Every structure is written in structure tokens, then in C-alpha cells.
Amino acid sequence: MILDKKVALVTGASRGVGKGIALSLAEAGMLVYITGRTISEGNTDSKLAGTIFQTQAEIEERGGLCKALQCDHKDDQQVKMVFDQIHKEHQQIDILVNNVGGSAAGGPVEMSEEVWDSQVDSNLKSVFLTCKHVLPIMEAQGSGGIINIASTSGIRWTGSAQVAYAATKAGVIQ
């Protein structure tokens, strides 16, 4: 297969679209790295509790290869460490899927500056940082692909006031 023995990193793979992408890439024969802000099995965050391990376990149960790594995608040094580790172990990174992110309700009047900044960091800065660190690797190996997950909210009103999410996804599209 064309993806056999290739290496992928899928951010935001603990659930939803990212998990589905990670499962599909593993089924196609890729070694899939998945990342989460915290991978502690005792994590109490309802969005992350054990799910990065659950994704890894599900991939492995299906015969795929997967490794979970901790990474706050808003932190340049943590992002760099992830790419350095993957490259050191495999001398290649073939696919990056930027799927990390989330939304917060509110328009510009109701949304606090703190929530705005958090959304920009989670949804847009994370894409910048992962691209910053993977592009030199892909350029040196002469190949690779980056898939940035955006949203229709980045191009039109979707019926839900989420100004920061819409703005950051428009940024990802650009």
C-alpha cells in the first residue's frame, strides 16, 4: 500500500474527527503518533480522560501501530520535542494532521479577552507551531503532506455565535 511504513502525526486524536483519521491511517499501514495535552490515565478533564490511551488501544487492537505523546500544542518547546522525538526514532515524518482545537460560544461583546486568546492559541497558534517544526523535516526528506482541519465556520455564518472559533478557522483556511 502507498501509506505502508509511513509515519503520521495526528493532533487532537483523542476523539471525533481526529480519532477517525488516526484509525484510518493506521488501518492503511502507517505508524501513527497521536498527541494530547495530557496523557495521564488519571486525568479528570472530561474531554481528555483516558481518551488518548483509548485511541491508542483501539488502533493496536485492530493490528495498527500507534504511540501516544503528551504535547500542549500552544507551547513551542513541547511541539519541537514531539517532532524531534518522532524524527529521531524514524528519520521521517510523512503526514501531519492538524486537528487540535475547540470552540467557545460568544460574540465579540460577550466573549472575554482571555477566552479569545485561548481560542487563538488552541486553534491557530497550534497549526503555526506544528507547521514551523515539521516543514524543515519534510523539506529535507523531499516529501510529506500537511492536512489542516478547518471548519465551515471559517467561511460563513453557521448559526452559532462563536466569533473566536470562526476567526481562527478562517485563519487556518488562509
| Of 51, 87, 165, 169, catalytic | 165
Active site residue 33: no
- The alpha carbons of the chain give a radius of gyration, in whole angstroms, of 16
**d(Cα 98, Cα 172) in Å, to the nearest integer?**
10
For 128, the enclosing helix (H) or strand (E) is helix 126-141
Residue 11: what residue type?
T
> Following CA atoms 105, 111, 117, 119 in sequence, which dihedral angle do they give, to the nearest 10 degrees?
10
Residue 52 has a CB neighbour count (10 Å cut-off) of 28
The catalytic residues are 165
